[in-house]
Amino acid sequence: MKPSQTALLGLTLLLAPLTHAGESTTPDWRQTASSDEKVKNLTKVMPGASTLMLQMGERYRNMYWAGKLGKWEFAEYQVEEIEEIVKTLIITRPGRAETAQDFLDTGLHSFATAFKKRDWLTFKTAFEQMHVQCITCHARNAHAFITLPKIPAMGNSLVLEVTP
């Protein structure tokens, strides 16, 4: 065998396992599973409260700094997103639905006035009321140890990308 043939054979043997690397021998449950199995799998991958609360924390911080900097549309957008996160929590974690609904009913209502007035002090009061409701919700869900800063660190907040 010539050296070039030996090299080609070696390369072929080396790469052979890679030709099937993208193929899975595990059947795709999304196509093969029964409806019950699909629901069971989808329920398993729904975001938990902790995942949703990470998103909430980003919105909390962005909303505060947007209000502080007078970026009212961005602050209002964050409130809308917080509302959607809590609604998602109600669906994905029914055991927390009651406290999540209480938060929706009491934690966000004061922002409408703040956005209408475009006034920092009114916004700050609404933010403080929401903060109390966050802490109350945590306590009611046996997570009182999770506290939030009344003035969140700016960090890598998206509000920095909003131009005047």
Give this prediction's pTM. Answer: 0.74
Does residue 14 register a pLDDT over 60? no
Which amino acid is residue 37, in one-letter code? E
Q: What is the pLDDT of residue 115?
A: 97
Residue among 49, 76, 46 at smallest CA distance from 63: 76
Residue 11: how many CB atoms within 10 A of its CB? 10
Domain ranges across the chain: 72-143
| Model confidence pLDDT, tens digit, residues 31-76 | 999 999 989 988 888 888 999 999 999 999 999 999 999 999 999 9
